[in-house]
């Protein structure tokens, strides 16, 4: 059995009116969307940071700087594919991913199966090894006022023999 490591990731983006909202690779219908240099997919960014952290490969900002035009508007599924390639270079495989999204709206439960499918394909793992949950912030703070969205993720990786 190889070495098992755990990683934790977090991301937050502000919501802007009339901006696309991409979450877990799925474009959601909503009056506002997450704003950032890439597609601002907080779920995928948290997952990338968890994976990078577990492998001691720094963080998403180190690998995909928001000052680098190559990453402007890019799908975060592509960023996840790059992260998985970095893990493979160090002989790590992903055991599982567990993620939580915190937002008031829109409700994401109907979209979770599609999100899991996109993430599984990009990460090269089974959908059953991905958990995505969502909660509100009970109308408190910047999340409750629908000014932003937050995602947390943990992952387990293992170094192959």
Q: Are 98 and 125 in contact (CB under 8 A)?
A: no
Virtual torsion, Cα 117, 123, 125, 128, nearest 10 deg: -40
Looking at residue 1, its pLDDT comes to 60
Looking at residue 64, its pLDDT comes to 85
Sequence ranges of the binding site: 11-13, 37-38, 45, 59-61, 64-68, 135-138, 142, 145
Alpha-carbon distance of 120 to 31, in angstroms, equals 28
- Name the DSSP class of 109: G
Looking at residue 71, its pLDDT comes to 82
In a structure prediction context, what are the per-residue pLDDT tens digits for the chain, which is 161 residues long?
A: 679 999 999 999 999 999 999 999 999 999 999 999 899 999 999 999 999 999 999 999 898 888 888 888 799 999 999 999 999 999 999 999 999 999 999 999 999 999 999 999 999 999 999 999 999 998 999 999 999 999 999 999 999 75
Looking at residue 158, its pLDDT comes to 97
Looking at residue 69, its pLDDT comes to 82
Q: Which fold has domain 4-159?
A: 60s Ribosomal Protein L30; Chain: A; (3.30.1330)
Q: Which residues contact 44 (CB under 8 A, 6 or more apart)?
A: 24, 25, 76, 77, 79, 80, 119
Looking at residue 161, its pLDDT comes to 56
Secondary structure in 3-state letters for 38-98 = CCCCHHHHHHHHHHHHHCCCCCHHHHCCCCCHHHCCCCHHHHHHHHHHHHHHCCEEEEEEE
* Residue pointed to by tokens 């690998």: 63
* Packing angle, helices 76-89 and 112-123, rounded to 10: 40
Any idea where the domains of the chain sit in the sequence? 4-159
Sequence ranges of the binding site for a divalent metal cation: 11, 13, 45
Q: Considering the entire predicted model, what is its pTM?
A: 0.95
């Amino acid at each position: 059995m190889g070495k098992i490591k755990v990683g934790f990731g977090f991301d937050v983006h502000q919501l802007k009116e009339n901006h696309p909202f991409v979450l877990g690779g799925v474009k959601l219908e909503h009056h506002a969307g997450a704003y950032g240099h890439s597609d601002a997919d907080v779920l995928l960014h948290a997952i990338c940071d968890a994976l990078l952290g577990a492998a001691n490969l720094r963080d998403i900002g180190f690998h995909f700087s928001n000052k680098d035009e190559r990453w402007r508007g890019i799908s975060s599924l592509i960023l996840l594919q790059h992260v998985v390639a970095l893990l493979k270079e160090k002989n790590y495989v992903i055991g599982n991913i567990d993620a939580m999204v915190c937002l008031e709206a829109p409700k994401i439960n109907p979209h979770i199966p599609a999100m899991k499918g996109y993430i599984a394909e990009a990460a090269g793992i089974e959908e059953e090894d991905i958990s995505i949950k969502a909660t509100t912030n009970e109308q408190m703070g910047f999340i409750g006022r629908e000014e932003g969205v937050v995602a947390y993720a943990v992952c387990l990786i293992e170094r192959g023999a």
